[in-house]
Amino acid sequence: MLIGLTTGYIIFFYGELVFWATPEREGMSINSLLGTWLAYSVMAYIFLCVVSVFKVHNVWAVFLAGAFYGWFEEGIVVQTMYGASDGSFPVSISFTGLAWHALIGVLVGWYLVRKVLAEGGVLKIICLASAIGLFYGVWGIWWWNEPPAAMKAMLDAGQKDLLLIRFAIFSLCTSAFLILAHWLYNRAMPFVFKPRKAELWFLGVVTLLYYASITVPAAPQALWVLPPLMGITFWALNKNRLVESRPNVISAFDHKVKPLRYLLLFFIPLVAIVIYFLALAAETKLHTNLIVYYVSSVLGALMWVASVVMLLRRRLATPDVNSTALHCR
């Protein structure tokens, strides 16, 4: 449960808090955020089951596990995968399931940040955190073009300082909980996450019932869009399961991370705040959302295709005949 809750918050941080990038929107009350985090944690637990069962270790397998997570959320739990007011089909297949959840939330936020915290130097952590913060700030300023009511009121009244302060508090506080999540995650390691067959059957049956009774009636396209995409994804992941001998990435990294390394993740909100401040000072109103939308949608789709191909091409490791013979002698 601890691993599920911490993983849930990590993905929730990128999938909700960074995505909405402001405390001014509806649904940003503490009660609403707690409920959304718990929902993310349930989905994260199912995601961890996939990572465990299919022995996910390399980058390609991580991305496909992230694709499963993204399509599970956007294609089953909610139905934005089949087209919405802010994203037309078929681009909606990639954004946000692949382009945001798989690429940003799972591959970068859950996998790469944990890897760099455990194995990278101080400079690498600062660079990665700063890059995430740069993206956070550049993405966040687009909301000024379509501001929610509270934000519009501040912009119309010229209260830029208040808007900056609220963004700073929001990003710093949510990032502090991100750091806590990473610390708690590593405190639980080393730990073998291996779900029982009864758990897998239960989660599978509940998912199918939800899919049949809620998803399909709400979006009939789910009958012919989701199954082939999930089928190919699981086909490639199963190939990975058959050839992977290393531990999955749930527990593959060193859990003994020095406290200073966690604090370096504060570069995420600090860089984002600087970008936010500079854009406010320059009265910048850029549609950075369109840049992120098109670039990440294409990149997410290409990553999915590349990941499927790379995993299907994997072969069992063959022993070195010469070294084996020498060892026998």
Give the DSSP letter string of 43-83.
Answer: HHHHHHHHHHHTT--SHHHHHHHHHHHHHHIIIIIS-GGG-
Angstrom distance (rounded) from CA 295 to CA 292: 5
In this prediction the pTM is 0.93
* pLDDT score recorded for residue 254: 84
Would residue 327 count as lying in a domain? Answer: no
Q: Which residues pair with 87 in a beta bridge?
A: 84
Would residue 133 count as lying in a domain? Answer: yes
- Residue 144: CA count within 13 A, CB half-sphere: 26
Average of per-residue pLDDT across 284-308:
94
Would residue 294 count as lying in a domain? Answer: yes
Angstrom distance (rounded) from CA 108 to CA 48: 16
Q: Given pLDDT bands bounded at 50, 70 and 90, which one contains residue 94?
A: very high
Compute CA 31 distance to the chain's CA centroid, rounded to the nearest angstrom: 22
Q: Which domain holds residue 165?
A: 2-313
* pLDDT score recorded for residue 324: 43
pLDDT in tens, 43-72: 999 999 999 999 999 999 999 999 999 999
Would residue 67 count as lying in a domain? Answer: yes
Q: Given pLDDT bands bounded at 50, 70 and 90, which one contains residue 36?
A: very high
Would residue 231 count as lying in a domain? Answer: yes
* pLDDT score recorded for residue 321: 42
Would residue 175 count as lying in a domain? Answer: yes
Total structural domains in the chain? 1
**Do residues 67 and 304 make contact, with C-beta atoms less than 8 angstroms apart?**
yes
Q: What percent of the chain has pLDDT over 90?
A: 81
Give helix 2-12 / helix 30-53 axis angle, nearest 10°: 110
pLDDT at 5 over 80: yes
pLDDT at 135 over 80: yes
Would residue 319 count as lying in a domain? Answer: no
pLDDT at 190 over 80: no
pLDDT at 326 over 50: no
Average pLDDT, the chain: 92
* pLDDT score recorded for residue 317: 55
Would residue 12 count as lying in a domain? Answer: yes
